[in-house]
Amino acid sequence: MRLFRYAITAWLALLALAAPASADFSHLAFSDGFNGTTASIARKWNVADYCNFGPGPPSGASQACFTDDGQHATESDGLLSLRATYQPECGADRSFTCWLSAQLSSKTTVTPPLKLVARVSVAPGVGMWSGGAWMGNGCMEVDSLEQLGRTAIGNTQSVHRWGCTGSHTSVSKFADVGVPLADGFHTYAAKVYANRVNYMIDGKRTNTIRDSEIGGVGSWRMLRPMTFKTSLNVGTCWGWAGCPDDTDTQTEYVDWYRVYTP
């Protein structure tokens, strides 16, 4: 009996040693506190400049565009401001209306397991689509913050597989926090492991998405270098985020952005 107890104790100890799946993410691998000026953004981030993300617009419909004009992604007073503005004349020939907004992609990549956490105040209003904290590796995308202004008290948390091992597959789960998220800053986090992603808002677990939900181990290409992103998208009248109900400028604020590894 004593030998049996010793064997059980030793086995439990080995399990504890072999459990970095619940690792303490203590190494800071990438961070930005946005304590510089707008010119500082280019040190750590690439700024997108393109139109028509998502489905193409119907004829005559307003388009959604990211811009690197230095006015829609700005840094000052310890905050990154991502602005969305309505433009009545867009394109080289000024032939269409659009919403201009911003998306930043990190120049640093980090390979999971990792923890992404950011402190963000989302943009209010129908049509606003705040993506303050997400990541991708060309095959997989992990969205820890994908907040639609039309669902003010909740946040969609997702894993997307972008066809690198088959057709596009997505799993999205909703986190209802019970308060309007645009009323202030909240922390949004995702812990990415070999077989799952755990999501948190303000330090509380909200959802888990496992490899079995996205097609199994062979389809879960998560342990590849990740690029980290922060963005403010704008919905359009044919898209998921909904049609903006006015043309007022809206802003998403990012206080800080951090990525940890074990």
| Segments making up each domain of the chain, as ranges | 23-261
For residue 91, pLDDT beyond 80: no
Rounded to the nearest integer, the mean pLDDT of the chain is 88
The arithmetic mean of pLDDT across residues 123-129, rounded, is 95
Which residues, including other chains, have CB under 8 Å from residue 112's CB and lie 6 or more apart? 192, 193, 194, 222, 223, 224, 226
For residue 36, pLDDT beyond 80: yes
DSSP 188: E
Q: Tens digits of per-residue pLDDT, 141-168?
A: 999 999 999 999 999 999 999 988 778 8
Give residue 142's pLDDT.
98
For residue 22, pLDDT beyond 70: no
Distance CA 188, CA 204 (A): 10
Whether 64 and 129 have beta carbons less than 8 Å apart is answered as: no
Residues in the chain: 262
Write the burial class of residue 97 (CB in 10 Å: 0-12 exposed, 13-18 middle, 19+ buried): middle
DSSP three-state, residue 143: strand
Distance CA 110, CA 138 (A): 13
Q: How would residue 191 be classed by pLDDT, with cut points 50, 70 and 90? A: very high
Q: How would residue 127 be classed by pLDDT, with cut points 50, 70 and 90? A: very high
DSSP three-state, residue 217: helix
The arithmetic mean of pLDDT across residues 136-143, rounded, is 96
In the chain, what's the furthest Cα-to-Cα distance? 85
Distance CA 73, CA 24 (A): 33
Q: Is the bond preceding residue 113 a cis peptide, omega within 30 degrees?
A: yes
Single out the residue of 150, 122, 113, 140 nearest to residue 230, CA to CA: 122
What architecture does CATH give domain 23-261? Sandwich (2.60)
DSSP 19: -
For residue 48, pLDDT beyond 50: yes
For residue 202, pLDDT beyond 90: yes
For residue 73, pLDDT beyond 90: yes
The arithmetic mean of pLDDT across residues 73-78, rounded, is 97
Distance CA 73, CA 80 (A): 7
Whether 104 and 74 have beta carbons less than 8 Å apart is answered as: no
